[in-house]
Structure 1
């Protein structure tokens, strides 16, 4: 029996579009779509959700990085085992300090603009769906029917060659400067 469970995944720089086939077992898009013809433009429900968020990270741990990017448990394992290639903002997850003697901080700017969802219950949308696509993509477990559009931009700052005495001073100064940037940059986006 087919499942109607909905899952949500961060793209982490991977490209997808409405109708993309997805394999949840290996966290990969299958490279094809479920549609045999273009669905009606008015079958996409668009909701403007303008939001910006400025964060900073200086722990340089996977736990903190996953939390800052809102990566779910299912995708964490795929990232840690190298199952999926990290592209775009996802590369931040593998960005590590150059040395144990260095101090590193990252400013994270996250923006969301629009939430798009396909109304799959419409007859004119169902007429565009190809069931033959599953013959060639037997590993597909889900179909993308919604996308929350946005971006995450990271700027990392690293100071190398610190000794133990001035390390805490440099960490404190970096935290202070990142917090100042965060406070002066807080706001919202008009989409």
Structure 2
């Protein structure tokens, strides 16, 4: 039996039973099931956790590593096959000049883990067998970690007299203060006026938010209310035919 696939959603939405095409690394608007699932089919685990990670390497390799994007998925993204939305747009964000420095803060929230139980009574009667006879999909989503992912990128233009390492340290200090506020430290943030903040989030729209300190603070304060507007942060995908054995 092949090993299950596990990948970040990169802003895409899917549900348990959604079909997946591993050849292009895309979730399909199709489901393995043709009706509502019977009770006890979905095993739910409340998690309610959060973690942060600093990203100092803004190359594609560094971004892929921070996001948990493996080589095969990375190739699909670069080839334009795999869609990225929401927080995934950070992967394609670029500095347009070498006369600037930036660093980023990755903030992950996980609320619930859901997993399909194919041994539950009546579940096989809900399966659309015709979907398994097509070559459109290769896998089915059987587990999802629900939550959201937000990336804060602080960027500042460099003047001729400025040392890039000093500016990088200032931006890192700013993101540290943002991290403390995200985690409930309540620290007052002090940011250089010339710094720009880009925010990439799974429920913040289809383009990054370009803002300043005040705008970032408003979004930070609103994050707890966004927690149930959940989007998929990770999916566990197994071969569709194996899932129905």
Root-mean-square deviation (Å): 2.1
Structure-2 residue corresponding to 1:66: 64
TM-score when normalising by structure 1? 0.87
Greater Cα shift, 43-52 or 172-181: 172-181
Higher relative contact order (CA 8 A, sep 6+): 1
| Unpaired segments ≥5 residues, structure 2 | 185-223, 229-245
* CA shift digits 1:2-32 (9 cap, x unpaired): x553111211111211111111111112221
Q: 2: CA distance between counterparts of 1:51 and 1:132?
A: 39
Structure-2 residue corresponding to 1:123: 121
Once the two structures are TM-superposed, the CA of residue 68 in structure 1 deviates from its matched residue by 1.9
Q: 2: CA distance between counterparts of 1:125 and 1:64?
A: 42
* CA shift digits 1:131-188 (9 cap, x unpaired): 11234x412111111111011111222112433643222112112222233345446x
TM-score when normalising by structure 2? 0.69
Structure-1 residue corresponding to 2:10: 12
> 1:1-191 alignment to 2 at 5 Å?
3=1, 5-135=3-133, 137-163=134-160, 165-186=162-183
Once the two structures are TM-superposed, the CA of residue 48 in structure 1 deviates from its matched residue by 1.1
* CA shift digits 1:25-72 (9 cap, x unpaired): 111122211112211142110011221112222321112212222222
Runs of 4+ that moved beyond 4 A: none
Give the number of equivalent residue pairs: 187
| CA pair 176-118 structure 1, distance change in 2 beyond 3 A | same
Q: Does the 8 Å CA contact 1:55/1:182 hold for their aligned counterparts?
A: no
Q: 1: CA distance between counterparts of 2:161 and 2:39?
A: 60
Q: Does the 8 Å CA contact 1:22/1:30 hold for their aligned counterparts?
A: yes
Q: 2: CA distance between counterparts of 1:95 and 1:75?
A: 18
| Unpaired segments ≥5 residues, structure 1 | none
* Structure 2 residue matching 1:42: 3-state secondary structure: coil
**Structure whose residues are more often strand by fraction:** 2
Q: Does the 8 Å CA contact 2:22/2:139 hold for their aligned counterparts?
A: yes
Q: 2: CA distance between counterparts of 1:134 and 1:43?
A: 20
